[in-house]
Structure 1
C-alpha cells in the first residue's frame, strides 16, 4: 500500500483527485480502489516538548535553572490534532511505500519528516520514502508532480535546516524570555517579557527609528537653479542645478547639501546674465528589463503600498487563492525565478487570462510568448519558484475585493515577463557658469515596453525606486538640441530654500522591506556583505507572523499607516543588551541555516555556538537595568505556560 502524507487536508484532496477512481472519503484520509491511501497532517501535529516535560522542576521559572538545554530533544503531540496523529501512526505501519507531500519549503519538509521520525520507521523503509513537490493545486499540475517523484533523502539538508531553526527558537525564546522576565519582576514589572531571535531585533528597528525621529532637528539647506536660454534674447529653455565644488564641502552636510545661505546667494548673484558653456554632454540609451515575478515578501510590500494591506492579510488572501480558488501557485515562496519547464504552461495561462473578463485580459492579449525573460533560470530554483497564476480560469471564482486585488497583482507581474524592455534615452548636460559647475538631466522614452502595464503617473517610480525623485524631475524636463562647446546664456539664478526631513516612521511596506534588506541596518562591513546574499531578517513564510506577533504582545501599535513602538516595547529594548536588539546575530543565524540547507554547513556548526551565546546572555541578564519598564499588575502563571508552549512553534 502506498501512503501519501500531505501537509494539510486541502493538499491531500488535490492529490487524491489526480489518482485513480473510485475513492472512499474518510474524515482523516482517502482510500483508493487499489488500496493506496492519501492522508494528511493538519499543519504541525507535533511540537517541541515544554521544559517541564524534561523535568517537572522546570515548570517554575527560576534563574538558577537557566539555561535549559535538552540533552535529548523531544517532540510531543499537539492535543487538538492527536486523533490525526493516531490515524497516521496506523497507516504508516501498514504502508509499503510512503510519499512525503509536505509543502515545498523548509518548514513543509520538516513538518512531515518529524512525523515520520516520530514513528521510528525501519532504516530501509525510511530510505525508500519519495518526495512529492506540489506548488499548484490544479489537476494538471498535480498530475505532472506525481509523475516526477524524487527521493526524500535528497531533501534531508532542508529538513535539518528547519530542525535547527526550530530548536534554536526554543533555546533562545524559552531561556531569554524566562531570564529577562524574572529580572523584570525584581524591579516591579510583573508580566512576561518575551524575547525572540527575530521579533526582538525587529522591535529594535522600530524603536531606534522612533528615537531618531524624536531626536531629529531640522536644518535649512540651499540649492541654486540656473535658468538657461539659448541666447540672451530668447526665453528660458531649461534649468540646471548647481553642483558645489570641493572648496564648498566645509559648508555642506554629509550628503553634500549647502547649509550656508550666504554661499548660495553669492552663486545666484555671480551667474546672473552670464554665459553658460556646454562643457560636456552624456547621452546614453538605457534598457530596463521587466521586474521579476513576486516572492511572498515582494508581493506583501507591493500590496501594502497599493492597497494598504498588512502582511498577515496578504498571506491569508494568498492562502485562499492557492487552496480554495486554486488560482495561484504555492504562495509562501522566497524565490523570484521560474523553472524553464514552466514555459510549457505559459501559453495556456496567458490564453486563460486573455479570455477572462478581468482587467488583465487586454494586457494578456498583448503578451508575446516568444519572449523569454531572465525570470526563467533553473539555477535559481530551490524547493519552490516564484508566485504566478495557474492555468485555471478566474471566471467562476467568487473573489472578494482583497482576493481580486492580490490576484491581479500576481497576474500583472507574470505578464510583464512577456513584454519587451523599457528603453529610454538619458541625457546629462554639464554647464560651466561663472566658474561653477551646473547639471541638467532629461530623459526621453523610446519604447515603453513592459511599462505600458503601469499607470502613467507611476512610471518614474517603477524605473528606479532608489532615485524616484530624480526620475520624476527628469520625466518633466526636456532639453533642446545642444553641442559640446556651445555657449548659452544664464538669464538668472534662483535660490531654493529647503529643510532637512526626519526619517519616516515604518509602515507595513517599509518594515517588510527592512526585514528583506536588513543589511542596510548593519554597521559591520563583513556582516553587511554576508547579509546582502541572504534572505534577511526572518523568512518569507514567517515575516507576517512575526510582525503580527509584536502587535498581539502590545509591543507595536499603529498610528494611521505608521507603525510605532508602545511604551512597553520601547522600555523592553532599552532594558535588553544591545546584542539582543540588533539584527546582526539573528541574520547570521539565518545565513547559516540557509547554508545547512545547501549542504555548506552542518547542524552542530550552528547549534554549538548558539548554545554558548544563549548561556552568556542568560548570565548577563542579571546585570541589565529594567528600571524603565512601566509597572503592571502580575499576570497569572497560566499566561507564562501558554507562552512556553507556543514559543517553540513560532519563529522569533
Structure 2
C-alpha cells in the first residue's frame, strides 16, 4: 500500500482529485480504489518539546538553569492535532511505500520528515520514501508531478537545514528570552522581554530609524537652474554642476549650502548665450519586471493597497488552497522553469474568461515571447508565483483576493509583452563659464508598461525631463533666466509595511561590514518568505511595534529594550551568518553538528555577558504586574505554519 502524506488537508484533497475514483473517505484519510491511501498533516503535528519535558524544574524561570541545552532533543505532540498524528502513525506502519508530499520548501520538507521519523518507521521504508513536489494544485499539474517522483533522500540535507534552524531558534529564543525577562523583573519590569534572531534585528531596524528621525536636523541647500531656449525656440532647463572651486561652500553630499554663491551664478547666466559641450542620445530597453516571489508581492500589495504582509500571505493561501488559481505562494523565487512556457496558452485562455480587464490584457500578449523569467538555473525548490489554468474562477473572488490575483496575473502577462523602449538624453552646456546639465527620458514604446494602471508613463527622476531637443556639440543656446531653487534636507522616511519588508529582503543595505553584506546578499536578507510576515505581526502583538497611520514605529518599550541589548543582538550580522550556514547545510556543504556546537558556544558567551543588562533595563517603561506570571510564559513557536484545518 502506498501512503501519500500531504502537508495539509487541502493538498491531500487536491492530490486525490488527480487520482482514480471511486474513493472512500474515512476519518483522517482518503482510500483509493487500488488500496493506496492519502493522509495529511495539519501543519506541524509535532513541536520542539518545552523545557520542563527535559527537567520539571525548568517550569520555573531561574538564571541558574541557563543555558538550557538538551543533550537529546525531543519532539512533543501538539495537543490539538494528536488525533490526526495517531491516524498517520498507524497508516505509516501499515504502508509498504511512503510518498512525502510536503510543501516544496525547507519547512515543508521537515514537517513530513519529522512525522515519519517520530513514527519509528523502519530504516528500509525511510530509505525507499519518495518525494512528490507540488507547486500547482490543479489536477493536470499534480498528475504531471506524480509522474516525476524523486527519492526523498535527495532532500535530506534540506530537512537537516530546517531542523537546525528550528533547534537553533529554540535555543537562542528560549534562553535569551528567559534571561532578559528575569533581569527585567529584577529591574522592575513585569513584561516578557522576548528575543529572536530575526525579530530583534527587525525591531532594531525600526528603533534606529526612529532615532535618526528624532535627531535629524534639517539643512537648507540651493540649486541653480538655467531656463534655456534653442535657436528654433525649443525650451528646457539645465542644472548647474559646481566645480571643485566651490567645495568650501558645499556639504559632504556635494550640495551647495551658500546661497550667496548661487545668487552670483544665477545673475551671471541671466540673458547669456551658451554652447553645447556634450550631447548624448541613446535608445534603451527595459525588460518587464520578473514574476512575483512572496516578498516582492507583499511589497507591491502594501504600496498599492495598504495591505499588511500577513494579509497578503493569508490572501495568497486562499488563492492557492481554496481557489487553486495561483501556484505555491511561499516562494522566494522570481523565475520559472523553461518547460512551463508551453503552458502560456492555457493560462491565457483561463485569464481571458476571468474578468474583462484581464481579457483585455491577454489580447495584447504574445505567447511566443520568452522573457528572462524562464531560467532553469535560477529555479530551486519552487518557482515564481503565477496564475494556473483554473484562473477563470477569478470572477468569484472577494475584494482582497481579486486585488492580489490581478497583481499576480498582470505580472505574469508582462512576460509576454515587448520591452519598454525609451530615449535616454543628456546635454551639457557651458554658460558664462559654468557647466550645466540636462537629463531626459522619452518613451518610444510603452511595451509591458501598457499593463500598468491608466497606461501610466514611467516616473521621472525629479531632475529628469520627458523631452529634450536634439542638439549637437557646438550648438548655441540662450539662457533666458537663472533660477535658484531652495531645498531642504528631509529625514529618512518612517517605515511602512512595504519599506520594512523591502528592508528585510535587502538588509545588506544596512550593514557596513563587507563580508556580512556579501552573505546577506546571497541569503536574501532577514528571515524567509514564509516567516517575514509573522515576524512583523509578532512584534506588534508583543507591543514592541506600533502603527501611526501607514507608518510603523518602535513603541517606547521596544525602543528602550533595544537600547539595553548588545549590538550583536540588534544588528542583522549574526542572523546573516546563520542563514549562510543553514543554506550551506541544505546544500550538503556544511555540518549540522558543527553549526549547533558553534551556536551553543556563542549562546554561552551571550549569557555570561548578560548580567550587565540589569541596570540598563531599569529604563524600560513600567508594566502592570499581571503581565508576567512566573513559569507560565509559553514561547511563541518558530514555525509560521499554524495551518487552519480546512
What TM bracket, shorter-length normalisation? over 0.9
Does the CA-based 8 Å contact 2:585-2:591 persist in structure 1? yes
Choose from 245, 256, 259 the match for 2:257: 259
What does residue 540 of structure 2 align with?
Answer: 551
Choose from 431, 437, 440 the match for 2:438: 440
Distance 1:631 1:164, change over 3 A: same
1:604 aligns with 2:593: yes
Tell me the CA shift for residue 357 of structure 1.
2.8
Distance 2:91 2:374 in 1: 40
Distance 2:49 2:394 in 1: 45
Deviation track 1:195-217 (CA, whole Å, cap 9, x = no partner) reads: 00000000000000000000011
Deviation track 1:261-286 (CA, whole Å, cap 9, x = no partner) reads: 11111111221222211001111111
- In structure 2, stretches of 5+ residues that fail to align are 642-646
SS of the equivalent of 1:459 reads coil
Does the CA-based 8 Å contact 1:517-1:532 persist in structure 2? yes
SS of the equivalent of 1:143 reads helix
Distance 1:618 1:394 in 2: 56
What does residue 465 of structure 1 align with?
Answer: none
Distance 1:458 1:160 in 2: 48
Q: State the TM-score, normalizing by the size of structure 2.
A: 0.96
Distance 1:383 1:50 in 2: 31
Distance 1:650 1:17, change over 3 A: closer
What does residue 488 of structure 2 align with?
Answer: 499
Tell me the CA shift for residue 640 of structure 1.
5.4
Distance 1:636 1:191, change over 3 A: closer
Does the CA-based 8 Å contact 1:535-1:591 persist in structure 2? no
What does residue 63 of structure 2 align with?
Answer: 63
Tell me the CA shift for residue 435 of structure 1.
1.8
How do residues 58-137 of structure 1 correspond to structure 2 at under 5 angstroms? 58-137=58-137
Q: State the TM-score, normalizing by the size of structure 1.
A: 0.96
Distance 2:631 2:512 in 1: 36
> Which range moves more in the overlay, 264-273 or 288-297?
264-273
1:629 aligns with 2:620: yes
How many pairs were matched up?
639
Distance 2:597 2:65 in 1: 20
Choose from 345, 348, 371 the match for 1:347: 345
What does residue 316 of structure 1 align with?
Answer: 314
Tell me the CA shift for residue 9 of structure 1.
0.3
Distance 1:497 1:480 in 2: 27
Deviation track 1:379-416 (CA, whole Å, cap 9, x = no partner) reads: 11111000000001434752110000000000000001
Distance 1:315 1:9 in 2: 18
Does the CA-based 8 Å contact 1:173-1:647 persist in structure 2? no
Distance 2:410 2:77 in 1: 43
Distance 1:129 1:28, change over 3 A: same
Tell me the CA shift for residue 128 of structure 1.
0.3
SS of the equivalent of 1:73 reads coil
Does the CA-based 8 Å contact 1:506-1:563 persist in structure 2? yes
Tell me the CA shift for residue 605 of structure 1.
3.3
Does the CA-based 8 Å contact 1:389-1:414 persist in structure 2? yes
Does the CA-based 8 Å contact 1:317-1:406 persist in structure 2? yes
Does the CA-based 8 Å contact 2:410-2:451 persist in structure 1? yes
How do residues 93-242 of structure 1 correspond to structure 2 at under 5 angstroms? 93-231=93-231, 237-242=235-240
SS of the equivalent of 1:359 reads helix
What does residue 277 of structure 1 align with?
Answer: 275
Tell me the CA shift for residue 325 of structure 1.
0.5
What does residue 464 of structure 1 align with?
Answer: none
SS of the equivalent of 1:241 reads strand
Distance 2:15 2:429 in 1: 68
How do residues 238-253 of structure 1 correspond to structure 2 at under 5 angstroms? 238-253=236-251
SS of the equivalent of 1:635 reads helix
> Which range moves more in the overlay, 428-437 or 403-412?
428-437
What does residue 424 of structure 2 align with?
Answer: 426
Does the CA-based 8 Å contact 1:325-1:397 persist in structure 2? no
What does residue 644 of structure 2 align with?
Answer: none
1:469 aligns with 2:461: yes
How do residues 399-548 of structure 1 correspond to structure 2 at under 5 angstroms? 399-455=397-453, 458-461=456-459, 469-470=461-462, 473-474=463-464, 476-548=465-537
Distance 1:51 1:584 in 2: 28
